[in-house]
Every structure is written in structure tokens, then in C-alpha cells.
Structure 1
Amino acid sequence: MKKDHTSIEGCVAQYLIDKKDCLPSLYTWKFTTSIATERFGISFSGQTPFEKVMELKNSLRKQVASSTCTIQQGEIAKYFIKEWGGIRRFTKVEETLRHFSGLKGSSIAPQRLKIPFQGISSWSKWASIVCPDWACIYDARVAYALNAINYLAGANQLIFQVPPGQNSRLRMLDINTLLLSQRLQNGESSDPAKMRINHFIPKPDTYLRYLALLRGVSNAVWNDTSHIHEVEMLLFALADGEIYSDVFERLSANSPNA
């Protein structure tokens, strides 16, 4: 396989740079603001889903930063993960709080993060509230977006591990299989364990590698490292829209029937 020296940060930045100013219109994740107002006293003045979610996150971050009450923090975590985030099966509130109790308010990511990959879609949401300077949400849509951009750029980078997701549109075009179809070489073992070693970022390294990528992309697109959440939101917003369409177009163009 021909190697390209462009980093995954470079590929993602190149894909996103002309879309950064469109984020307020691209981001359409809706939620019931009255619930947040009733439970946490948050007032909303924004008109778009993007404006409202920014108000929600900023308010919850301030409340968490000023609180030492684990009960209050637990209520915020449950709301943000289960109701806002849509992960209805989430139950590990105390465990999630404990993972980040010693990191609350820290300004830089730790060199190591001993949290199981399982449940990353849940606990990374809480991390983005309690450690906003460096932590961002990592879920199936974000991982799909990163891997899809890798595929579109030639599949030269290791594959990000994808947590379980519910988006049937993204499941239709299995991005891992598409990436492997470009990366596998003649004579390689078909053993899944060996394929994971050769072609995937190890699960324990995935989140910190993702955070480093966000900083790199933020720096390339905005000339600073303070727009990591905007990078994440762009990836999320584009995943089952423009990115999905670009993958479909590439796949259909390469079809023997094209």
C-alpha cells in the first residue's frame, strides 16, 4: 500500500477548514431546554440548536466547577449522558464520577488515562463537562467521521476504535471494512486479533490519541488549541451528512458497475 506522509491531523484539518464557519448551521442536535431549566435553573437565549447546546454546556461546566456535592454532580452527569446524550442504558454514575474526581478542573490531559474503552461514549461526555480544557466527547459518530476522512484520504492512517452506536445510516457503510479493504496486503493473516494489532489504534490509547488529534486540528484550522470542542462538534455534525455522502460517492465511483 502506498504511504502518504500527511498525518491524520492534516487530513482532518484539510477536510474541515472550509466548513468551520458553518458549524452553527450544521449542528442540529436538539434537546428539550425546559428540562434543563427546571432541573438546573438554566435560561436559554439562543435560537439555534448550536447556540442552545453551547449555553447548556457552559452552564453545566460552571455548576460542576463550583460544586463539591457528589449528589449534584451525579444529577448533572445522569442528565447530560442519559437525556441530553441519549444513552438511556447509562447507570454507572458513581463509577464515572470516580474516574474523573482527581482530574476535575485540570488544564491539560494526563499522560495516561486508566479508564476502560467500554462505555467511552458515556464517560467522555462527563469528561467534557468536568475537564473542558482538554476533554471532549468521543462517540460512534465522531469515530466514524475520523475513519471516513482517513478512508477518503487513502486509508494510510491507523483506524480509530468505534464504540457501539445506534445510527443505522452509518452502519450501512461499514467504514472499518472499507478501510481494511484498502490497507490489507497479500498474505496478511485473517485473524481478527492480528488485524487489530496491525491496523487499529489500541483501545487503551484511543481516547488520548483522539484528544491529541483535536488539539492538532484546532491549531491547524483556528491557529490555537482552544477550539477542540468545535472540532468535535463539526465531526459529529458532518458524520451522517456530508461525510457519509462523500464515502458513498467514493465507493460507488470505484464500483465495478460504475
Structure 2
Amino acid sequence: MKNVIDKLKEFSEQIDLKERFDFNFDITDKIFSSIESEQLSTDKNPFDQNVRLKWILSEKYKTKTEQNYLDFWIVNNWGGIRGFKPVERNIEKVQRFKKQLSKRKLSLDCFSTISSLSKISSFIDPENFVIYDSRVIYTLNWLILTCENQDGFKKKYFPMPSGRNKIIADFDMNTIVNISHISEYSQGEDLYITQQKAYFEFCDFIKTNTKLIYGEDSKPYELEMLLFTLADKEIFKNLKEKIKITTGNKGNRGTSP
């Protein structure tokens, strides 16, 4: 996906994540030791704090045999997803998900909550796993549509997880993709990577291309954070500029980027 990579490289040169990345958490939370809280307080922006948090929690995963508290702190407290509570069925789902990571194939049940579960894996192993959430995938799918598939369907899209963001809800990417490829959609062609494989293909894409975009010493979460940051401003602006709705009594009806 050379054109997507070129566009992301362009965005990376325009956007300083230390200034733009905006995702805060309570650095005084009881999950942190006093030393860890002090370390986090030395970071002056949310980007640096979240990077430090990756490695703080990654170390905790290596030393703690009882990990349920860590798992659900990440989802509920850091991620703000209160609906995924630490009840037995969700605890069991997290355990299944962790086992499926090594097999590189997810069950449909696990993918149904991938926004929550991928947050956990991104802290367990920041070198190999990143967060698969609605804003990140919205951005990537729009770039695939406008950079790779603008002249016809060439690259498959990533299945969209559900999200709470208003822009993503109001301008549904699945609908945009399906209408943009109405011929292929009508013929039953698969426009999306399968849900069982999507998370791993996404992680592979991020790992491979982070170094091309941010340099050899960069980490996968840097590119994932860029995709997250782009959704509400750059991607929404680009969507409003490019999308057209054509209607008529006699002509075809469609949406084109």
C-alpha cells in the first residue's frame, strides 16, 4: 500500500504527536507505585505519558501471575470502556483472546470486542501488538479508499469495530466503502479482510511501516497513535471535501470519493 504509506509519511511530517495526541489518564491511580507516578509526572504531554505507560504496564504483566486487575484497569479505567466489566464471561473471553494471539486467528466472539481486547494486548507486548479501534481503522480505511482504491477496487479494507465517536457514527465508513464499490458489492465480492485475520494483518501493517515512516528506532504505537489522531480533524476534513452524493430520477445513485 505504497500510496497510503506515502500519505502517512506526509502526515507524520506535519503533525507533532507530542502536541496533538490527546488521551489523558490519572497518573495518581492506585495501580501505580509512588515511583511510577513520579516518573509519569515528569512527562509534560499525553503522548510521552502514554508511551511510558506502555512500558510500565508491560513490566507489570511480566511479573504478575494474577492479571485480571491489569486487564480490566486498561479497558475500564484507561480506555474508558465501562461496559466491559470484570464478570466471569468477560474474564474468560480475555483468556481466550490471549491464547488466540499466538495462533494468529481470532474467534468471531473475540473480534466482536476487539476495541477492548486489543487495548490489553497493546500493553502486554507493545513491540508486536497495537490497538484496533474505530478511529484508527476509520482513518486507515479512508486512506485505502482515497489513496489505493480511488480508480477501482485493489486493496481490501479492515472490518470496522463499533465506536462512540460522533463523526464515525454519523459518517459510517462501511456505507461509504460499500457504495464506492457498489459493483463489487452487488456481485458479492469480499471488500473486507476476514474478522479472524484482520487484527493480525493490521498489526503487521503497523509494525512494517512504522519504521518507514518514523525511522528505525520507532515503535509500532507511534503510527497507531498517528492514525488515532488524524480521524477527527484531517480525515473528517478530507472526507467533507471529497465525498459527493449524486441523485437523480433517471441516473444511478451513488457516493464517490
TM-score category (smaller protein): 0.7 to 0.9
The one-character-per-residue Cα deviations of 1:146-197 (angstroms, maximum 9, x if unpaired) are 11111221264212101110001122222222222222228934xxxx3xx5
Amino acid at match of 2:191: H
Assess, with a 3 A threshold, how the Cα gap between structure 1 residues 79 and 147 changes in structure 2: closer, same or farther: same
* TM-score normalized with structure 2 length: 0.80
Higher relative contact order (CA 8 A, sep 6+): 1
Query: What is the rounded CA distance, in whole Å, between the counterparts of 1:59 and 1:131 in structure 2?
Result: 11
Task: Quote the RMSD (CA, aligned, Å).
Answer: 2.4
- Kindly indicate whether residue 201 of structure 2 is the aligned counterpart of residue 209 of structure 1: yes
Change (3 A) 1:113 1:225: farther
User: Given the alignment of the two structures, is residue 112 of structure 1 paired with residue 104 of structure 2, yes or no?
Assistant: yes
Counterparts of residues 49-128 of structure 1 (less than 5 Å): 49-68=46-65, 70=66, 73-91=67-85, 92-100=90-98, 110=102, 112-115=104-107, 116-128=110-122
Query: What TM-score do the two structures reach when normalised by structure 1?
Result: 0.80
Q: CA deviation at 1:140?
A: 0.8
Count residues with an aligned counterpart.
Answer: 230
Which range moved further: 43-52 or 88-97? Answer: 88-97
For 1:37-76, what per-residue CA distance to the aligned partner results, in whole angstroms no more than 9, with x for missing partners?
x2221321111111111122221111111222x1xx2111
Counterpart in the other structure of 1:174 = 172
* C-alpha contact 1:28 1:49 (8 A) present in aligned 2: yes
Bigger mean CA deviation after superposition, 224-233 or 114-123 = 224-233
Please report how far the alpha carbon of residue 11 of structure 1 lies from its aligned counterpart in structure 2 after TM superposition: 3.1
Aligned with 1:162: secondary structure? Answer: coil
Q: Deviation of residue 255 (structure 1)?
A: 6.3
| Structure 1 residues 117 and 31, CA gap change in structure 2 (3 angstroms) | same
Asked if 1:245 corresponds to 2:234, the answer is no
Other structure's SS at 1:33 match: coil
| Separation in 2, partners of 1:133, 1:16 | 20
Secondary structure class of the residue paired with 2:82:
coil
- Could you tell me how far apart the structure 1 residues matched to 2:57 and 2:125 are? 12
- Contact in 2 for aligned 1:136/1:228 (Cα 8 Å): yes
For 2:183, what is the secondary structure of its paired residue?
coil
Asked if the contact 1:156/1:183 (under 8 Å) is kept, the reply is no
- Distance verdict in 2 for CA 1:159–1:33, change over 3 Å: same
Determine helix, strand or coil for the equivalent of 1:40: coil
Q: Deviations over 1:200-238 (max 9, x none)?
A: 111111111111211232132134485211111110111
C-alpha displacement of 1:143 = 1.0
Find the counterpart in structure 2 of residue 151 from structure 1. 145
The answer to whether the aligner puts 1:234 opposite 2:220 as a matched pair is no
Partner of 1:106: none
Deviates more, 1:165-174 or 1:175-184: 175-184
1:10-39 Cα deviation digits (max 9, x unpaired): 23321221333512222111222222xx22
| Aligned position for 1:48 | 45
Distance across 2 between alignment mates of 1:208 and 1:93: 22
Secondary structure, counterpart of 2:227 in structure 1 = helix
